[in-house]
């Protein structure tokens, strides 16, 4: 399965996708961003989510990062 297909699957079934799966996909697409600043910002956000204990809070924070998935599909 290509990375693009994985991103589409996450977007299509976001509510049933675990925060771990979402974060794994975000980490895979991070090197594709043209700006190092964007990648560094995203890495910081991912780390903050990983450090959370509550899965529902992790999921809530992941929703805020969903535009990165959309940007990836749009060609960054």
What is the full per-residue pLDDT of the chain (76 aa) written as tens digits?
999 999 999 999 999 999 999 999 999 999 988 899 999 999 999 999 999 999 999 999 999 999 999 999 998 5
> The pTM is what?
0.90
Contacts of 14 (CB under 8 A, 6+ apart): 22, 63, 66
DSSP state of 31: G
């Amino acid at each position: 399965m290509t990375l693009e297909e994985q991103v589409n699957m996450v977007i299509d079934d976001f509510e049933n996708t675990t925060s771990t799966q979402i974060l794994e996909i975000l980490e895979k697409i991070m090197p594709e961003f043209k700006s190092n600043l964007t990648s560094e910002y995203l890495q910081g956000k991912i780390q903050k989510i990983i450090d959370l204990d509550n899965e529902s809070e992790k999921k809530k924070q992941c929703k805020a990062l969903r535009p990165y998935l959309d940007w990836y599909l749009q060609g960054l």
